[in-house]
């Protein structure tokens, strides 16, 4: 496989993990058809909701804007890998 085929681009699907503070329910999964949601205990002992989803860059930006619009601060956004 050439190096360019492994290059992250705006239009290719990739898996991302987004963490926000608090305990959010499964209804948030409606944002994306393949979103998984789980609640973990953060380093401070407080709940952290973890969204894991496979999206392109445009959809990722949309998800981040929605989180911002409802006032949820980001703990992290992590690139997990591509398809």
Q: What is the pLDDT of residues 29-46, one digit of tens each?
A: 777 778 899 999 988 899
Residue 75 CB neighbour total at 10 angstroms = 15
CATH number of the domain enclosing 65: 3.30.70.100
Q: How far apart are CA 10 and CA 12, in angstroms?
A: 6
- How many Å apart are CA 49 and CA 57, to the nearest integer? 21
3-class DSSP assignment, residue 7: coil
**Which of the pair, 41 or 28, is modelled with greater confidence?**
41
The structure's pTM equals 0.82
Q: What is the mean pLDDT of residues 44-69?
A: 92
Establish if 4 belongs to a structural domain. no
Q: Would you say residue 20 lies in a domain?
A: yes
**Residue 49: beta bridge partners?**
20, 39
How many structural domains does the chain have?
1
Do 20 and 38 contact (CB within 8 A), yes or no? no
């Amino acid at each position: 496989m050439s190096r360019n085929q492994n290059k992250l681009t705006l239009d290719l699907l990739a898996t991302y993990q987004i963490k926000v503070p608090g305990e959010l329910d499964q209804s948030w999964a409606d944002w994306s058809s393949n979103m998984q949601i789980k609640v973990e205990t953060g380093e401070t002992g407080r709940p952290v909701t973890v969204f894991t989803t496979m999206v392109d860059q445009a959809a990722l930006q949309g998800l981040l804007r929605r989180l911002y619009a409802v006032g949820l601060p980001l703990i992290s956004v992590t690139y997990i890998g591509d398809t």
